[in-house]
Amino acid sequence: MADPTELHDLSALAQGRLIRAGEVSPRELVLHYAERAVRRDDVGAFVHLDPERAVDVAAALPLPGEDAGPLYGLPTAHKDLTLTAGVPTAFGSPVFAGFVPDVDDAVAAAVAAAGMPSLGKTATPEFGSPCYTEPEGRPAAVTPWDRTRMAGGSSGGAAAAVAAGLVPLAPGSDGGGSIRIPASCCGLVGLKPTRGRISGWPSYGEPTGLATPGPIARTVRDAAALLDVLAGRRPGDPAWAPAPSSTFLAACERPPGRLRVARFAVPILDEVEVHPECLLAYERASHLLEQLGHDVEDVPVPLPREAVAVFETVWAVLTALTPVPTEQQHLLRPLTRWLSARGEAVNGPDFGRALGAMRRHAAGALEALAPYDVVLTPTLAAPPLPVGALRDDADPAADFAAQKRFTPWTSVWNVTGMPAVSLPLHWTAPTAEAPELPVGVMLAARPAEEELLLALAAQVEAAAPWHHRRPPGW
């Protein structure tokens, strides 16, 4: 048997190979991670931890057969927005404290069907809205590269758990960057799939098409393997993406060919100051793509600035859709109350017009980018910020504006529905004020072209690997 103290050093796929070879049992692996999660969660990763349940599930798994997937027997954890039968799910809010769903949603069901026990629920901000993860009454989720700095959001707990080696990989969700933002802050791979790639069953509570689940992992291949687990459609889905030619993991083994790469680093928002390290990461990624034989071209920003106001209207209405009784609204965070009030002030026809405008902006961007195979941008406008740097309970409008300045590129691909991935290609130089910090760069592809995106991401990872990097306290 492999030395259990070294298991978390391996990629998720390497751990899966040990299980299929019989060198490690699912119970042994889950116990290894359960002990780490109990003893070493100083990054605010978990809001609910049930290691005994996970170990029992692992112990009950049959020996892996020929049909066992590459992640069979590996533990994970679900974001606190994911419906999990019999497991507390608070949606990051004290309003739902004590709520226990009686059904697994499509993500939880797919993970369970793949033989992946869940250690519990990972932290998310209230209703998954902010781009930082500071849930009420809980420690903030922080990047293990500097525990005074944010893990990002809204999948901040999931990213913190993966980056700190508390789980090998985890699903998140992304409505405006909520997978890619924490991936950049935590030095991970974060993939937002194509719209319709993963089912929203059974609640179908996101009617705009902005949000989707997706994988967070330490390597491109690990992320692809988790996407294989999560992907799939159900008969009631309002939209779906065509099935891949084989598997997303197999796509990582195919050369992407010579690609035409569009790039832009101009923020869609006015008055956004981009940190030099983020621009350096972007320029180095551009140079690396050219070295790999791809053609890199500067392009104008594909969305007009007026698209920002449209997105804000839709986002505010989404926030207002969560049912909160009047007598409990005082429990909501000021930002949530402010956004909900904005959303409730939008009448039906105006919301319909905003959705139509968003569709037209998306169509214009898709047409402008159609000649290109992929698009390169920075992921964020700054390295991970100190905890509390964006949050402003006294002025929610300022809070929201600060979030927009930190994330001026991520929501573009939620609007268009294109798949996008943040890759940890850069680290800042350590200074007296801060240790080295991860800085992501982002690649997006045409709708339903995750296979090409993953093939390119795997090629980039092979040329500039990052799996050997370990945060403090690993």
| Three-class SS state of 79 | strand
- 32: helix, strand or coil: helix
Structural domains in the chain?
125-463 (3.90.1300.10)
pLDDT value for 1: 43
| pTM score of the predicted model | 0.98
3-state helix, strand, coil in the chain (%, to 5): 40, 15, 45
pLDDT for 5 equals 54
Catalytic site residues?
79, 154, 178
Q: Would you state the pLDDT for residue 431?
A: 87
**Confidence (pLDDT) at 4:** 45
Q: CA-to-CA distance for 253 and 271, rounded, in angstroms? A: 42
User: Which residues of the chain carry a pLDDT beneath 70?
Assistant: 1-5
The pLDDT of residue 226: 99
CA distance 85 to 91: 14
Residue 220: φ, ψ to 5°: -65, -45
Structure tokens at 147: 């525990």
- 174 φ/ψ angles, rounded to the nearest 5 degrees: -150, 110
Question: Six-digit token pair at 16?
Answer: 């899966």
Work out the angle between the directed axes of helices 51-60 and 26-40 (0-180°, nearest 10). 170
Cβ burial, residue 423 (10 Å; 0-12/13-18/19+): buried
* Structural contact between residues 216 and 158, judged by C-beta atoms closer than 8 angstroms: yes
